[in-house]
Structure 1
Amino acid sequence: MGAARLHVLAGALRDREGRVLLAERPAGKHLAGLWEFPGGKREPGEAPLAALARELDEELGIALVEAEPLIRVPWRYHERELLLDAWCVTQWRGEPRSLEGQGLRWCRPAEADPAALAPADRAILQALRLPPHYLISPAEVLPAERGAWFKQIGRAIDAGERLVQLRLPLWPREEVRGFAATLLPMLREHGAQLLLNADIEGAQMLGIGVHLTAAQLVALDERPLPLQQTVAASCHDAAQLSRALRLGVDFATLSPVAATASHPQAQPLGWTRFQALAEAAAMPVYALGGMAPAQGAQARAAGAQGVAGIRGFWRWP
């Protein structure tokens, strides 16, 4: 009989400047030299939040005041299975200090190097980086509407949206790339991310992210972009989510959660099935298919990073 899955708590301490605290694993420990979010093992019978409070007190000398669930990451290191249960810690008493010989440093999530983190902790970093909404451009947009859609995306960014996918199948690929290039200064000024749908070469050229199709997941043997450029993927079942994880995808959309007019033949997952798949995914997952921004809280309660969508997410004139 194998060993029981280890339940490990991790705290993403976030200060008023939006920085998070990372701890370096000391010499002599597994994954020594890599960075992680502070925390440790839950003792038998201990409530998760109580375990996190105890670990933060023992490691950093602080008293936990307020935290909320961030992401749960099932992971395997060699023969040991663990559940990395991450919480966003927004209030604490005391000044964090190294009590176990670990290095400590504060950094903004967008500036942290994923390659410097322990593999399981990279999903926590992505969850901190990603916003609650993922906007996808409507497939029927024509090249002649370029000016109108520059304004649409600008309005969305001004309204606080920070993650956009360009999915423009009616446009020549070079025109999509050119449009993306014109959008980048505005998006970068606001700290927003732009992903191209399926166009790996274009993403490489522009230094931005790519959203892989389900067909690309099957065809690829390795992550198509460096860790500094976001890779997302469209998934519809457990096998595709597992494949995305093996490729090192940063986040996925999982669909359809509900019935949609665009894919009437697709069987909806429903929230129960969505939650089971999302919680086993070991990466942030957006709920897609019949979603609207107002369903964000319901999606997060089901283990989602947030909600993704097309029509219901854009502000019309």
Structure 2
Amino acid sequence: MKKRVEVAAAVITRPDGRFLLGQRAPGTFYPGYWEFPGGKVEPGEDARAALVRELDEELGITAHTCWPWLMREHDYEHANVRLHFFEVPEWSGTVNDHVHSALEWQQADHLTVAPMLPANGPILKALQLPREMAITDAARLGLDAQLAAVDAALARGVRLIQVRDGTLPAEARAQLARAIVARAHAAGALVLINGDAALAEAVGADGVHLREDQLVGLSARPDFPWVGAACHSRASLESAAALGLDYAVLGHVLPTPSHPDRPAIGWDAFTHLVTHLSIPVFAIGGLDASHLREARAAGAHGIAAIRGSWSA
């Protein structure tokens, strides 16, 4: 039986969004492969504490902020490795590597180094996922006002839009989706269609967002570049992860007018539900862009919002 190794890994970022990768040195497992900095968690040691220690020892930097993000397991030849990924957006010191052959600052959608350690492929895709998901509300706003709000959101930097509005007539919803796809793609943004794979394909969307009832009993991931799901329990989150979905949305975290009779779960429960999950999770419910830092500190990839996205 292979031994289990716990590893803490860091997505160390600069203000321009680039992250640091290190090349494994000769004499180690997978020499020449690229990885996220970090190291082994010692018995009885907290993963976050291990990360801070390893970054000091390996790179000579002090990590001031470590946000829990994803946990991935990979079965290597020498061991079963469980990697606890943290985002480290705030750190100090001069990077001075002591263990790698080389270091490079990279961006997820334009990687210039290879090969990567096998466990890191899904991590690189997750880093391409924007941090704010704007969810349409055309039934309340009206079609013209919704499109104007989309233009404003794209102008302020939103790069992920979910077309919801399942109560609209089919032709009106298709018209809305086509218009949003055209606007979003011109701005380099992604568009997901809620619950309707046929419509997503017809309008050239980037993927589909599954309702929780669609997730139940699903045996294979839909064939789109981006697929996510709405979740309300740990079981549904684990189902989304097992299917290899790209993200989940969990909530509602704070009180919201769209669900006045359902109590909010709060940030503590959110953190508990997403801990050690292998896919990114957006927090939803009563949120807007001002909650992004709080959400990421709680283990969220980012925030998803209906009203909050269009009133910003």
Q: Calculate the TM-score normalised by the size of structure 1.
A: 0.76
1:86 paired residue number = 86
2:222 paired residue number = 224
Q: How is 1:239-254 mapped onto 2 (pairs within 5 angstroms)?
A: 239-254=235-250
1:212 paired residue number = 210
Question: Partners of 1:87 and 1:17 in 2: how far apart?
Answer: 15
Q: Secondary structure at the match of 1:248?
A: coil
- 1:252 to 1:139, Cα distance in 2 relative to 1, 3 A: farther
Counterpart of 1:196 (choices 193, 197, 200) is 193
The CA deviation at 1:187 is 2.6
- 1:207 to 1:266, Cα distance in 2 relative to 1, 3 A: same
One-letter identity of the residue aligned with 1:166: V
- 1:43 to 1:202, Cα distance in 2 relative to 1, 3 A: same
**Unmatched segments (≥5 aa) in structure 2:** none
2:146 paired residue number = 149
Question: Partners of 2:125 and 2:211 in 1: how far apart?
Answer: 20
1:182 paired residue number = 179
The CA deviation at 1:164 is 1.6
Q: How is 1:1-317 mapped onto 2 (pairs within 5 angstroms)?
A: 6-15=5-14, 17-23=16-22, 36-44=35-43, 51-52=50-51, 55=54, 62-66=59-63, 68-78=65-75, 80=80, 82-88=82-88, 99-100=99-100, 106-111=105-110, 120-122=119-121, 124-125=123-124, 128-138=127-137, 140-141=139-140, 145-173=142-170, 175-205=172-202, 206-226=204-224, 229-315=225-311
Q: Please say which of residues 232-241 and 46-55 is displaced more in the overlay.
A: 46-55
* Length, aligned pairs only: 307
The CA deviation at 1:153 is 0.6
- 1:274 to 1:57, Cα distance in 2 relative to 1, 3 A: closer
Question: Partners of 2:264 and 2:88 in 1: how far apart?
Answer: 31
The CA deviation at 1:167 is 0.5
- 1:270 to 1:50, Cα distance in 2 relative to 1, 3 A: closer
- Residues 196-234 of structure 1, C-alpha deviations (whole Å, 9 max, x = no match): 1122234345151221111221242222135xx221210
Q: Secondary structure at the match of 1:140?
A: helix
One-letter identity of the residue aligned with 2:13: R
- 1:214 to 1:185, Cα distance in 2 relative to 1, 3 A: same
- 1:39 to 1:197, Cα distance in 2 relative to 1, 3 A: same
The CA deviation at 1:65 is 4.2
- 1:225 to 1:25, Cα distance in 2 relative to 1, 3 A: farther
**Unmatched segments (≥5 aa) in structure 1:** none
Question: Partners of 1:306 and 1:111 in 2: how far apart?
Answer: 22
The CA deviation at 1:151 is 0.8
One-letter identity of the residue aligned with 2:216: V
Q: Secondary structure at the match of 1:129?
A: coil
